[in-house]
Structure 1
């Protein structure tokens, strides 16, 4: 089953959030930032999706952006940390980010509190995601949400992510950050992030079976 951009629905996200007992933020422009990690973790492409689910005029709105929630193969094979490449563990990371500047260069969501990551030290192109057998660490690791190229949509992750959540398209990224700015003006400069695995989206499974 492929993770199809545009096939994720409001209902499938709400179902997944409710099933996992995650907080769903309600209210005008109160953002639910939700990453969906594709089942194919070997890819060096932007095959994941970052969704922004929010209410406007009391109706649910959904934006979907092509992204990666995984480090590129360069950093998998050449970890920045001697313990291995950082892999953000699935779950709801409350108050994870705040608006700031990625590497001091441009506006982004930057890590605001300690977070749990899995350390993948196999140094191959297959991302390690099994939290039962891997080393977990908690701390400040620079797990930000930022963009890839400032000029064109990026097709390959490569060095764009060493563990950050990265949007592929700069125009979409600008839209995403503007939503964060608007929301922050109402609710404060703190943003939670929920990372789901693809298999948690029951609605997408139904869509895929119907198409097949």
Structure 2
């Protein structure tokens, strides 16, 4: 599956979300696209995408990388939160993230403002969309394996948005650091679903 910037922009605008296109470079639109084909099943694979759209010298730039927006099998079976594993609810979360250390180890986008998640604690390998919580839960945007690419999600994600390949994550963070230098250390994250793409 491949997406275009125009498709992502149209999807956000159809939901009345903000689309950043200011005159300065690196006014980034960070948009996750959750694959809705599996329904509520835990796939344990990196079958979602993260896109970044921004301008440099007036010209649009667009990147798309494979990620997961869902917890993996091991996380669903062995979650540490007594309320159940978290799954981010699609929405636009203004100023929700900033660059910081993930698990005090390496730079990533860390959650800094409230988001909404579904909680699922029955371990039946199907995501339930009944219990909703809002708060700061450490729903970060980070990488999986530090040296190569991961084939399965397992517990790389307990609700975080996680890159399949470290080289893609490094490219993403390079863009975010350039954006921070111009716009400050605050990033909006928008999660939509593949069925939202026109």
Q: Determine whether 1:195 maps to 2:191.
A: yes
The number of aligned residues is 193
Q: Determine whether 1:156 maps to 2:148.
A: no
Equivalent of residue 30 in structure 2, options 33, 42, 47: 33
Give the Cα–Cα distance (whole angstroms) in 2 for the partners of residues 175 and 54 of structure 1: 14
Q: Determine whether 1:11 maps to 2:9.
A: no
1:129-177 C-alpha deviation (Å, 9 max, x unpaired):
x3xxx11111111110000011011110001000000001111111100
1:102: how far off?
A: 0.3
TM-score when normalising by structure 2: 0.94
* Residue 80 of structure 1: aligned partner: 80
After superposition, the CA RMSD in angstroms is: 1.0
1:28-47 C-alpha deviation (Å, 9 max, x unpaired):
21110000000124310000
Give the Cα–Cα distance (whole angstroms) in 2 for the partners of residues 197 and 36 of structure 1: 5
Which shows bigger deviation, 42-51 or 119-128?
Answer: 119-128
* Residue 106 of structure 2: aligned partner: 106
Map residues 110-125 of structure 1 onto 2, 5 A cutoff.
Answer: 110-125=110-125
- What secondary structure does 2:74 align onto? helix
TM-score when normalising by structure 1: 0.88
Which shows bigger deviation, 158-167 or 55-64?
Answer: 55-64
Give the Cα–Cα distance (whole angstroms) in 2 for the partners of residues 185 and 127 of structure 1: 38
- What secondary structure does 2:7 align onto? helix
* Residue 175 of structure 1: aligned partner: 171
1:3-53 C-alpha deviation (Å, 9 max, x unpaired):
x1xx20111101101100000011321110000000124310000000001
1:73: how far off?
A: 1.1
